[in-house]
Chain A
């Protein structure tokens, strides 16, 4: 028991991922401990989403290993990962446009027993009161911000130990970005460990405990979020000052 507590919740060890002949991820190692918010920042095309998709099981690493809660999970199908307590809120939201808000949330709890769904739904509505107002609306008709909330709520419905968020601020107005990041902090305080991929480095570093900086398939820097926020190289490259 005590040994398990010392292990990181997620341990990615030197993974390599290819798209056909393209070597997209060139040996990435990272760790996420229970209770943390860890962020992965970097420019477009650095391989951040590829890394998350690989951890979620949508892509298979050609080399390296991934362990979740002390168990090896590389090569596990994406549809099995959510049963192990890991959920991904994917890039571009990918909510089910033709289903209602409520149905989308129900599908988020596909991996959970039926009797749990109601309570989880209430919990999600606690974080996102707007979704409750829109419960019966077809998801495709929601605004961009509401769709992002729905995608996050849906990912939360499986009661994940680790929730991975891919670019939750993409395409949102600054005031909504602020709101989304407050909710991320709230979900973390309520006990969900978070691995966050962001292009908005400023925001990401302000909520995270630790951060990794990615460039063209490799991790070039890592450390406490506070320290990276004041690092000259990071400031020049990602914070625009």
Chain B
């Protein structure tokens, strides 16, 4: 029973990583950059939900929508102001800018909301579900997180496969110059990618703080790094890879903490990543890099 409970918690935590990892993997696939500020967009999203619920007394649905709107705008603005001018620059310049943007967001949050942790309100007014004669407790946050993950994955996969904008994203990801020749506006496509990634970050922020209700300006950074790990683990650039990598990472982390050592939980996660990358350098579902003939 403890095993089952750990498994459910692992999948739930992994679902949050998966949703964050999507943002990393989409931006990497299409804009060819690592947006290290992504974790901090999650934190901003969580603060917006917090303010909307605590100070403005908005109903839960509006809290989520407000956070998604703010994060979408934030994501597009970050891309326009910080990354777009560096489109022709080296990868390192963009990477350093992204790290700088991450600190800028954290410190701005520190300025606005202070360093004291906020207790995140519970938005889901549902009862805990008891299974197996009360031996297995499943919290509503856990179920909602897993459900949200499945819905988001399905919707995003369909969006990329079927819609005109989704197909344009795949073209930009594969060959930016050829995409332009088709009449695809590359800058607009990259903006849309950031918008989607950031809106997902807002949802991830809400889910993260619902399960782990302590909110600080640095709340986003560790999950951000782990989700990035999950994206690499699954094969960066691949959407099913982000899903698989995220869920596996969550399960490994919870099992590692439960059965091996609580303190070493994070170390175990990264050790697994190192081993996977030694065996499969492109990640679990990543495409092998082919030499152009």
Task: Report which A residues bind B (CB closer than 8 A).
Answer: 56-58, 77-80, 82-83, 87-88, 90, 94-99, 103, 106-108, 110-111, 114, 154-155, 158
Check: B291 CB closer than 8 A to any chain A CB: no
Residues of B near any A CB (own CB < 8 A): 164, 167-168, 170-171, 174-175, 177-186, 287
A153 to chain B, nearest CB (A): 13
User: Is A88 a contact of B181 with CB atoms below 8 Å?
Assistant: yes
Q: Is the interface of B mostly helix, strand, loop or mixed?
A: helix
Are A82 and B170 touching (Cβ within 8 A)? no
For residue A87, which residues in chain B have a CB less than 8 angstroms away from its CB? Answer: 181
Chain A residues with CB under 8 A of B185:
79
Q: A106-B167, A107-B167, A110-B168 are in contact. Are A78 and B174 (CB under 8 A)?
A: no
Residues of chain A within 8 A (CB-CB) of B186 are 79
Flag if B177 contacts A107 (CB, 8 Å): no
User: How far apart sit A83 and B183, CA to CA, in the bound complex (Å)?
Assistant: 7
Give the shortest distance, in Å, between A155 (CB) and chain B (any CB).
8
Do A82 and B177 form a contact, CB below 8 Å, given A98-B170, A106-B167, A107-B167? no
B62 to chain A, nearest CB (A): 35
Look across to chain B and name the residue whose beta carbon is closest to the beta carbon of A96.
B174
Contact between chains at A82 and B175 (CB < 8 Å): no
Residue from the list B164, B168, B183, B287 in contact with A82, Cβ < 8 A: B183
Total inter-chain residue pairs, C-beta < 8 Å: 65
Q: Which of A57, A77, A111 contacts B182 (CB 8 A)?
A: A111
Closest partner residue, chain A, to B178 (CB atom): A94
* A141 and B167 alpha carbons, distance in the complex (Å): 19
Q: How far, in whole Å, are A189 and B150 apart by their CA atoms in the complex?
A: 53
Contacts of A111 in B (CB 8 A): 182-183
A88, B174: Cα distance in complex, Å: 18
A and B contact pairs by CB, cutoff 8 A, 17 listed: A56-B181, A58-B180, A77-B180, A78-B180, A79-B185, A80-B183, A82-B181, A82-B183, A87-B181, A88-B181, A94-B181, A95-B178, A99-B171, A99-B174, A107-B168, A110-B164, A111-B182
B175 and A79 contact, CB distance less than 8 A: no
CA distance A103 to B161 in the complex (A): 10
Task: Give the docked Cα–Cα distance between A111 and B182 (Å).
Answer: 7
Give A183 to B182 CA distance when docked, in angstroms: 21
In the assembled complex, the Cα of A77 lies from the Cα of B181 at a distance in Å of 9
Cβ of A1 to closest chain B Cβ, rounded Å: 27
Provide the residues of chain B in CB contact with A78, threshold 8 Å.
177, 180-181
User: Which B residue's beta carbon lies closest to that of A111?
Assistant: B183
C-alpha gap A110/B164 in the complex (Å): 8
B170 contacts A58, C-beta separation under 8 Å:
no
Q: How far is the CB of B236 from chain A (nearest CB, A)?
A: 15
A58 to B180, CA, bound (A): 8
Contact A98 B174 (CB under 8 A): yes
Q: Which residue of A lies closest to B182 (CB)?
A: A110
Contact B184 A79 (CB under 8 A): yes
CA distance A89 to B172 in the complex (A): 17
With A79-B185, A82-B183 known as contacts, the answer to whether A90 contacts B178 (CB < 8 A) is yes
Q: Which residue of B lies closest to A112 (CB)?
A: B183
Q: Are B178 and A79 in contact (CB under 8 A)?
A: no
For B170, give its contact among A88, A99, A155 (CB under 8 Å). Answer: A99
Residues of chain A with a CB closer than 8 A to B164's CB: 110, 114
Given contacts A96-B174, A96-B175, A98-B174, A82 and B182 within 8 Å (CB-CB): yes
Tell whether, in the assembled complex, residue A107 and residue B182 are in contact, meaning their CB atoms are under 8 Å apart: yes
Find the B residue at minimum CB distance from A157.
B182
A155 CA to B184 CA in the complex, in Å? 14
Pairs A-B, 8 closest by C-beta atoms: A111-B183, A82-B183, A94-B178, A78-B180, A110-B182, A79-B180, A110-B183, A107-B182
Chain B minimum-CB-distance residue to A98: B174
Complex CA distance for A88 and B183, rounded to whole angstroms:
11
